[in-house]
Amino acid sequence: MRRFLLLFVFVMSMFKVNAQNVSLQDKLYYTCKVWGYVKYYHSEVSNCNVNWDSVLTRFLPVLKTVTSKPDFNNILDSIITAAGSMAIATTPPPTTLPDELKHNLNLNWFQDPVFSTTIQQKLDTIKNNFRPHKICWVDKNNQLGSYNGYLVFPFDTPMLNVITTQSYPSANDRLLLLFKYWNLINYFNPYNYVLDRPWDSSLHDYVVPFDTVSDSKSLYLLIEKLTTDLDDAHVEGFTYSSAYSRPSGYYMPPIRLIYADNNYVVAASKIPNVSPGDVLLSVDGKTTQQLEDSLKQYISAGNESVLRRELCMYIISKESSTNETLVLKDYTGSSYTVTLSCNIIAGQDYDFYRSNYYPVDSLRTIQWTTLPCDIGYVNISNLEEADVASMYTDLKNKSAIIFDLRKYPKVNYAAVNSLIQVLSATYAKLMYPDLQYPGTFYWQNHNSFVGTDPYQGKVVILINEQTQSHGEYYTMTLEGMPNAVKVGSQTAGADGNITYWNLTRDITTGFSSLGVFYGNKDSTQRIGIEPDSVVVPTIAGIRYNRDEVLEKGLRAAGCNLYVNLIEDNTFSMIIFPNPAHDMISIKVDLENVVGSLITIKDIYGRTVFKKTLNSTEGMKIDVSNFPKGVYMLSLESKDGNAKSKLVIN
């Protein structure tokens, strides 16, 4: 019995000792939170009277060596003491804010049991005596004439002044980088409340990896993983390294993918034997699912729509200009293998790789035009501000105008809105970070314009996963029209102006520092703009070269006729008889058709007839064995090409 009691006392004593120990992970995690809070809330530190970076780097080495809870709290006490005396407030505290404006200011962690009573009291003293004031570390960027949600850091350099490939930062400097970055997001990101996991959890998971990561490339990939936790396509676009690419790389083969019918599908190809509508099965022996799983941990995306948009590029990208082997499935269901050279950098052919799916090349490049049924069409991505008035003069008497927002707008939303808006209402509320009260925000209403010559017809807005930020805000202005309808699919869900900066001289990042909401405070972040009529491209439509979103937009505009939207002929072509049931003749406005290729595809994009012309005799085709239906006949010559619908009855 005595031996048992001795063993029990020993075990309990060891438990008590262990209970007093603090892990390296917890020490770094809590130090980051304390250091960041003091930075923005302590009267001396927030006025830049203390070199706060050096305080952290001075105490980090000794902090890592202590293990007990009392010793850890002594280090924290030394850090807080280094801030100097907190000014005692003589004015009342700020008025209570609604919950949605202080969701970044949860200070319940003050009470975590890792802190001693002394530390808790010191943190409470800072909190109780803080009064909103100009914080020296962060300021508004007024270069555009007014504050638009962009932040600058006048007395703070969130950047380590190193090129990581030349002078790899020490563990203390890497932790300083993390602490500064994490606290900026913690106090000033309006969208922390919609993250898949709490930003606190991201800090807890990454503090030790940042302390131990051993080389520059691994550091960059670690930063990529951390920024992915922000679930924001803006973050994805602004996080990059001048020295390294993400694992997929930026070198691509001359094909472009689109996600359709739960598959990665060829949307455009510069390879003769790879056709639009072919389905990608694998790349270099890895299935598309395996590639997804390995790459999505590096992609910051707010919803599935924009994640697939990015993966359409990344799964066929390489880190260097080498070959890759693709396995694809054609329209017959047969698999084939092709080896392609990844010799193009996506940024060098941006329109090919990142533009929306436009089967009609003319619509890709025009500013505005009139479609069948006398319906106006505006491609916002090409419209110049100087041409807005001319566009409206041409289209204002149309029964409907289709605004295509499936690509980033070039013109400011107000330029068009002022011409067509007929309602004066709050269509958006903007959430700005309150730079005098870190962790809180304030609202600003955006009201719609009232045009002097308001448009009276129907407004159709085409949207999809390419509709992001300015495009989403544009949609919010247009959908305020009394007779507006949104056609397409979920948008990117990344709205608001972006603050961006260098983490090091070779690594850049950013975040959406301006919150965008509907007038009723409904969020757009991660959700995006929801269409009234959902329509997405299909594999069959891609094979048949159809723009199904635009077709649905035309129907929404009141055009119920069959419209051959894909015709963009460089010469005239007539098929007769049409409809036909046995023999057709083709007449074209060309002097020489020898060497031209005639192709007929069915509605599923399957090639049912193909012939190279040796003479004009081939301009007659027997279609008596074709099943009844709608087909597409194309003629490609050295002088251009033409397409036309063919009906077999």
Q: Give Cβ neighbours of residue 397 (< 8 Å, ≥ 6 apart).
A: none
pLDDT at 353 over 70: no
Assigned token pair, 510: 């950013």
What domains lie within the chain, and their CATH numbers?
Answer: 20-129 (no CATH), 251-354 (2.30.42.10), 361-493+528-556 (3.90.226.10), 573-648 (2.60.40.3080)
What are the backbone angles phi and psi of residue 514, rounded to the nearest 5°?
-125, 125
Tell me if 82 sits within 8 A of 50, measured CB to CB. yes
pLDDT of residue 637: 85
Tell me if 425 sits within 8 A of 447, measured CB to CB. yes
The predicted-structure confidence for 22-53, as pLDDT tens digits, reads as follows 999 999 999 999 999 999 999 999 999 999 99
Mean pLDDT to the nearest integer, 204-224: 97
Question: pLDDT confidence of 118, banded at 50, 70, 90?
Answer: very high
Find, among 387, 495, 518, 394, the residue nearest to 445 by Cα.
518
* Encoded amino acid at 29, one letter: Y
pLDDT at 216 over 60: yes
Mean pLDDT of the chain: 89
The residue written with tokens 């932790």 in the block is 175
pLDDT of residue 165: 95
Mean pLDDT to the nearest integer, 529-544: 90
pLDDT at 306 over 90: yes
pLDDT of residue 154: 86
pLDDT of residue 566: 44
- Weakest mean pLDDT among 141-155, 297-311, 524-538: 141-155
pLDDT at 477 over 80: yes
The predicted-structure confidence for 389-431, as pLDDT tens digits, reads as follows 999 999 999 999 999 999 999 888 777 777 776 666 778 899 9
pLDDT of residue 648: 83
pLDDT at 11 over 80: no
The predicted-structure confidence for 141-154, as pLDDT tens digits, reads as follows 876 556 788 999 98
Assigned token pair, 372: 């069948």
Question: pLDDT confidence of 603, banded at 50, 70, 90?
Answer: low
What is the DSSP secondary structure assignment for residue 451, as one 8-state letter?
-
pLDDT at 136 over 70: yes
Give one DSSP letter per residue of 498-566, joined into a string: EEEEEEETTEEEEEE-SEEEETT--B-TTT-PPPSEE----HHHHHTT--HHHHHHHHHTT--S---TT
Tell me if 601 sits within 8 A of 330, measured CB to CB. no
The predicted-structure confidence for 427-476, as pLDDT tens digits, reads as follows 889 999 999 999 999 999 987 767 778 888 999 999 999 999 999 999 99
Helix (H, G, I), strand (E, B) or coil at 163: coil
Question: pLDDT confidence of 184, banded at 50, 70, 90?
Answer: very high
The residue written with tokens 């035309």 in the block is 554
Half-sphere exposure of 475 (CA within 13 A, CB side): 36
Find, among 424, 515, 450, the residue nearest to 148 by Cα.
515
pLDDT at 13 over 60: no
pLDDT of residue 15: 39
pLDDT at 296 over 50: yes
pLDDT of residue 6: 45
pLDDT of residue 234: 96
- Residue 619 vs residue 612, higher pLDDT: 612
What is the DSSP secondary structure assignment for residue 580, as one 8-state letter?
B
Question: Which of 43-57, 271-285, 599-613 is the most confident on average?
Answer: 43-57
pLDDT of residue 246: 76
pLDDT at 2 over 60: no
The predicted-structure confidence for 309-328, as pLDDT tens digits, reads as follows 999 999 999 988 899 999 99
